[in-house]
Amino acid sequence: MLEVVELSKRFGGLYAVNQASIQVGQGQIVALIGPNGAGKTTLFATIAGFLQPDGGRVVLNGRDITGMPVHEICALGMVRTFQITQPFSRLTVAENIMVGVYQHTSSRREARRLAWEIAEYVGMGHLFDLPSTELTVAGRKRLELARALGTRPQLLLLDEVMAGLNPTEMAEIIGIIRGVRDRGVTILLIEHVMQAVMSLAEHVYVLSEGKLIAQGPPAAVTRDPAVIEAYLGKNAAQLLGGDVHA
C-alpha cells in the first residue's frame, strides 16, 4: 500500500532522515521505532506531506504522492495524527470528529451521525458534546484517532499514540487500534512503548540518527545488537550478552 523509497529530509546541513525506505502492505500494522531524536516524526511529516523531501519518493497505492499538498494526500486516503495532540480547542468532541467526517459528506446531520458512530467506537460516546478542552490526555489521544478515522483513511499514520497513557488506557487503545485494522485500515505507527509495539506490530522498522538500521518481526528486531546499541549505547549488546528479551 505504502512504499517509501530512499526518502531524505535535510535541515541545513543535517540529514534528519537519510535515505529511509519503508514498505507497508495492505492491512498490516507496521511500527517505526528508534531512540529519541532518530527522526521518526520527521519521517512521518515528510511522508504525509507536511515537509518537502530532499530526496526519494513516497508512493501510495501505486501513485507517486511525493511533495503533494497535505489535504490532497488526505483525500487519497492517508491521514496522520500528531504526537502532541492538536484538538480544535473551542470545538466539542462531536465537532472535532465532524471535521474529519466532512471529508466525505456535506450534510451536517449526516456528519453528526457518522461522528457519533465513530465516537461510540472509540469509547467517547458519553463525551460527545463535551468541549474538547475538558478531555484528559487519554481522551485527547482518542479524539485524535477518532478525527482521523472520520476521514475514512486507507492508511493511518499514528504518532506516539501511547505516550502519556496509563496501562489500562493503553490496553484499551491497543484494542481499538487492532479493531481499526480489522475493519480494513492499514496502520503505520511510531511508538516508544515496547509493549504496544510487541502486541500490535507485525513488522518493525528501526530508525537511528535518520537511517534505517534494522527491520523485521518485533521479536527479531529487539534482539538485534545494532538496535540495542542504538538505544543503549556502544558495546551494550556485548555487555548484555547478546540475548535480550524485550
Partner 1 sequence: MNQGNPSRDGTPGGRWLLGLLLVVAVAYPLLVSSNYAVDVGMFILFTAFLGQSWNIAGGFAGQMSFGHTMFFGMGAYCSAILVVTYGINPWVAWALAIGVGACLGAAVGFLSFRFGLRGSYFALITLAFAEMFRVLADSAAITRGGLGILVPVRQGFDQLQFVDGRTFYYIALGLCLAGLGIAGWLKRSRFGARLEAIRENEDAARALGIHVLKEKIKCLALSGAIGAAGGSFYVQKYLYIDPHLAFSVARSVEMLLVTMIGGAGTVFGPLVGATVLGLLGELTRSLSDAQGLSLVIYGVVLIFIIAFLPNGLISLLQRRSRKAGGRNA
Residues in touch with partner 1 (CB under 8 A): 48, 50, 69-71, 74-75, 79-82, 86-92, 95, 98-100, 102-103, 105-108, 111-112, 116, 126-130, 147-148, 150-151
Instruction: Provide the minimum distance between the beta carbon of 201 and partner 1 in the complex, in angstroms, as a whole number.
Output: 23
CB of 117 to partner 1, least distance (A): 10
Rank residues 152 and 223 by Cβ distance to partner 1 and give the closer one: 152
Q: How far is the CB of 231 from partner 1 (least distance, A)?
A: 29
Complex with partner 1: residue 19 or 105, whichever CB lies closer: 105
Nearer to partner 1, 29 or 127 (CB): 127
Nearest-angstrom CA–CA distance, 120 and 110: 15
Residue 155: CB minimum distance to partner 1, A: 13
What's the closest the beta carbon of residue 224 comes to partner 1, in angstroms?
A: 33
Please give the Cα distance from 162 to 191 (Å, whole number). Answer: 7
Nearer to partner 1, 98 or 206 (CB): 98
Minimal distance in Å, beta carbon 75 to partner 1?
A: 6
Which is nearer to partner 1, 83 or 195 (by Cβ)? 83
Q: In this complex, which beta carbon is closest to partner 1, that of residue 159 or of residue 191?
A: 159
Which three-class secondary structure string do you get for the chain? CEEEEEEEEEECCEEEEEEEEEEECCCCEEEEECCCCCCHHHHHHHHCCCCCCCEEEEEECCEECCCCCHHHHHHCCEEECCCCCCCCCCCEHHHHHHHHHCCCCCCHHHHHHHHHHHHHHCCCHHHCCCEHHHCCHHHHHHHHHHHHHHCCCCEEEEECCCCCCCHHHHHHHHHHHHHHHHCCCEEEEECCCHHHHHHHCCEEEEEECCEEEEEECHHHHHHCHHHHHHHHCCCHHHHCCCCCCC
